[in-house]
A = this chain, B = another copy of it.
Amino acid sequence: MTLELDAIDRRILAELQIDATLSAEQLSQRVGLSRNACWRRVRMLEESGVIAGRVALLDPEKLGYGLSVFMLIRTSSHEPHWLETFRGAVTSLPEITGIYRMSGDLDYVLRARVADMKAYDRLYQRLIAKVPLSDCSASFVMEEIRETTALPVQQR
């Protein structure tokens, strides 16, 4: 299942990753194609699943989620029961926007968004009430230098 995407497809993807509201007309001008040809390519990219969806991105500051946290978790217990409980606990908390099972000596990485330190502490308390964590270290994001959903589709 190797997809063959040419330079124009990649150009289209690059544009839509930045602004998905572009009309077929606008898009066609940017990539140098007729409106219809362009529209058909977009449709193909959607149907093949390369474009997984279109979402609205919200401003975290304006909604009271100005503090971003990474939680690095090491677990002593690797029994199935603990794992299940852990999964149930983390997935039940919507402030946790990223949940990753890792290789190496780290077991899980969590990414959470909260209002402030106090809100973080509440989240942490709710989490450890649901599942015991033997080793969890939190790091707070001081500055988001980059945060993008865009993949490098146009790579030179």
Contacts and interface: CB of A to CB of B under 8 A. Distances in A.
Contacts of A131: none
Interface in A37-56: 48-56
> In the assembly, how many copies of this chain are there?
2
A52 B52 CA distance: 20
Q: How large is the interface on A (under 10, 10 to 19, 20 to 34, 35 or more residues)?
A: 35 or more
A113 B151 CA distance: 8
B53 A139 contact: no
B100 A145 contact: yes
Contacts of A104: 139-140
Contacts of A91: 145-146
Nearest to A1: B62
B149 A57 contact: yes
A50 B55 contact: no
9 contacts: A19-B53, A20-B56, A49-B59, A54-B55, A70-B102, A95-B152, A100-B142, A101-B142, A102-B141
8 smallest A-B Cβ distances: which pairs? A94-B152, A16-B56, A99-B145, A99-B146, A101-B143, A103-B140, A20-B56, A20-B54
